[in-house]
Structure 1
Amino acid sequence: MRKIIPLILSLALVLALAACGSNDTTSEATTGTTAAEDTSTPTEVTITSLNGNGDPTDLTVPYDPQRIAILDMASLDILDALGLGDRVVGTASTSLDYLQSYINDEVENLGTIKEADLEAVMACEPDVIFIGGRLASSYDSLSEIAPVVYLAADTETGVVASVEKNARTIASLFGLEDQVDQLMEGFDSRIQALAGAAEGHTAIVGLVTSGSFNVLGNDGRCSIIGREVGYENIGVDAEIDTSTHGNEASFEFIVEKDPEYIFVLDRDAAIQTEGAQLAQEVMENDLVKGTQAYQNGNIVYLAHPAVWYTAEEGITALDLMLQDLESELLEE
């Protein structure tokens, strides 16, 4: 009996030690899982952006950046739609009504979308900076302050596709990609409805600036009218570059082409040129009045020129641009 008792005690001790070892192993596994969860959120993310030459490039930026500097209104539009406006610590000035909440004393003024105030950008200590094409020449200087996300429209794929792509790129910085489908909902069907009205019709698209009319192609501003909505743009040769301000055309040229529709972007109104003639005053002269576009009431003055001219790759901007076309082209 005396021999059995020590044996029993020894077995009990072995079982107790085994139990402790089992508990420790469970604890270590749980801790390991928790640690993995804690470290699953990245500190950085790599996206495809543009460099100072406008070429696609891989860019590493902080994940979920808290301090954002904005020098591009389309990007601000997308960030606003994603509910990230409280991250904006500085922005370029803008006249766009739907972005006026960012023009205040609490948000640093960083200059304009054409000329950045580098000292102001540096002072607001951004985690990331967003720019558009007008600031491509400042890409390197701004990159010394923080990573620069430079996004633009690809007219080959279209404005709608570009807005979606850019929105997904921006959303990926914050893990909000699942919101983009909802933000883009309805745009394709609206384009299809407009395409039905455009089918088989010719148009000239252009902008009025300093009393002149510049024709636009399908390679830049307003390209959505010809490329996606589907009007046959007869104003320019497809090989001619019109992506900046278009090519100046005479009113005799418009008469010669005699389009069924004329779409007009008022650049002077878009940039608030003091003392400039209204686009309607410039366009509705004796020559243009002889065109079928005028006689049939088909000169369309784009109602939100600043949107078309400065911010067309944004979510709200795209909505407003389609509204401008729908209100003139679709029957009530």
Structure 2
Amino acid sequence: MPARHLLFSPLKKAIMATAAAVMFTGSVSSAWADDTVSVFTYKGDRSESTVEVPVNPERVAVIDYAVLDIIDRLEADDAVKGMPLKGTIPEYIKHFQGHKGMVNTGTVKEVDFEALMALEPEVIFIGGRLAAQYDKLSEIAPVVFLSVDYTRPLLESVERNASTVAAIFSKDGQADEIINGFKERVENIKKQVNGKTAVVGLVNATQFKTLGDTGRCSFIGRDLGFNNLAKDIEATHGNEASFELLLKLNPEYVFILDRDSAIGRPGAKLARDVMNNEITAKTRAAQEDHIYYLNSTVWYLAEGGLTATDLMIRDMEQALNINR
């Protein structure tokens, strides 16, 4: 019986930690698989690196919705044996919850380490919310940490992440057609945008905040060519603003991310209700019916996946009345 199917024990834990360390140093051998592949990963400090993982692993834990999305689109979902079952899960990957024997690994921000170790995964996939746990998770199994790099166009990160997952599951080239389709749609959007002014806002607990071009939702300004009038904001969760500022900026378009809806906060006031006020109504965007509410679950929780990118581009196409 392969080592990955042995019952968990203190001795097994030590073997697992040793195997993970060996694979990380680039060895071509593995305690769990005859074939391995070296793939891209961020480390805990977000520096770029590589990690050695088994090819076609049969037991993986995916603690990131964007990676789970990619695995789903590449039809490698049978390997997923553990995922976060708590918190808000995007609709298009909720079917994973119904997989027989799926292990609940906690949330995308807080891992249930006991459940994860009992799962005995061959590979652990994580996103940025677990960066600080990279080293600790690497004691259990090789960790592939994928995320969006906000210093580059979004599609570059999506393509790199999809290629990384494809290399692990022998699905090379399968995402190419999808990515090429995204690139064509983005170029079409850019032609329609042509420097139109915009403000990208985040509503959280009735507060209105602005988002810049170097973090979440930067796809709108940096990649698609909207002139984000608050582009210099660097705060990941937005910079505190006011409706008076929004009126002063007076953009042609306003895009709103409803954080409370994204995380499923009970009793939270909807962003649409927060934005429905006399000051906002005076803006050019409101008067031209150009206030748009983004697919919050996707933009806030799953940026970087394949289906997520499709839905993000679709939001922009609808805002610009681009028919597909």
Which structure has the larger Rg over C-alpha atoms? 1
Gaps of 5+ in 1: 1-40
- Which of 115, 118, 124 is equivalent to 1:120? 115
2:315 corresponds to 1:324: yes
Asked if structure 1 preserves the Cα contact closer than 8 Å seen for 2:76 and 2:169, the reply is no
Give the 5 Å matches for 1:34-49. Answer: 43-49=35-41
1:182 matched to which residue of 2?
177
Asked if structure 1 preserves the Cα contact closer than 8 Å seen for 2:124 and 2:143, the reply is yes
* Structure 2: distance between partners of 1:298 and 1:196: 18
* Structure 2: distance between partners of 1:151 and 1:310: 14
* Structure 2: distance between partners of 1:145 and 1:200: 48
Superposed displacement of residue 206, structure 1: 1.5
TM-score, normalising length: structure 2:
0.86
What whole-Å deviation, never above 9, does each CA across 1:196-233 have from its counterpart, x for those lacking one?
Answer: 22113110002110001111111111111111111001
2:234 corresponds to 1:241: yes
- 1:185 partner SS: helix
- 1:179 partner SS: coil
2:221 corresponds to 1:220: no
Whichever residue aligns with residue 276 of structure 1, its letter is A
- Which of 124, 130, 134 is equivalent to 1:129? 124
1:290 matched to which residue of 2?
282
- Which of 267, 271, 275 is equivalent to 1:275? 267
2:148 corresponds to 1:148: no
* Structure 2: distance between partners of 1:202 and 1:284: 21
Please provide the CA RMSD for this pair.
Answer: 1.4
Superposed displacement of residue 76, structure 1: 0.5
- 1:322 partner SS: helix
- Which of 191, 194, 198 is equivalent to 1:196? 191
- Which of 44, 65, 84 is equivalent to 1:73? 65
* Structure 2: distance between partners of 1:190 and 1:196: 10
1:97 matched to which residue of 2?
91
1:106 matched to which residue of 2?
101
Asked if structure 2 preserves the Cα contact closer than 8 Å seen for 1:132 and 1:152, the reply is yes
Superposed displacement of residue 328, structure 1: 2.1
2:293 matched to which residue of 1?
301
Structure 1 residues 331 and 143: CA distance shift in structure 2, 3 A: closer
- 1:141 partner SS: helix
Superposed displacement of residue 330, structure 1: 2.0
Whichever residue aligns with residue 95 of structure 2, its letter is S
Asked if structure 2 preserves the Cα contact closer than 8 Å seen for 1:197 and 1:330, the reply is no
2:302 corresponds to 1:311: yes
* Structure 2: distance between partners of 1:200 and 1:219: 18
Superposed displacement of residue 284, structure 1: 2.0
Superposed displacement of residue 251, structure 1: 1.1
* Structure 2: distance between partners of 1:168 and 1:331: 29
* Structure 1: distance between partners of 2:137 and 2:245: 43
* Structure 2: distance between partners of 1:63 and 1:95: 28
- 1:203 partner SS: strand
Aligned residues: 288
Whichever residue aligns with residue 53 of structure 2, its letter is V
What whole-Å deviation, never above 9, does each CA across 1:60-115 have from its counterpart, x for those lacking one?
Answer: 11222111101001001111111110000000124211111111352111100010
* Structure 2: distance between partners of 1:170 and 1:42: 19
Whichever residue aligns with residue 200 of structure 2, its letter is V
Asked if structure 2 preserves the Cα contact closer than 8 Å seen for 1:81 and 1:183, the reply is no
Asked if structure 2 preserves the Cα contact closer than 8 Å seen for 1:194 and 1:330, the reply is no
Percent identity of paired positions between Structure 1 and Structure 2: 46
* Structure 2: distance between partners of 1:163 and 1:112: 22
Superposed displacement of residue 312, structure 1: 1.1
Superposed displacement of residue 42, structure 1: 6.3
1:59 matched to which residue of 2?
51
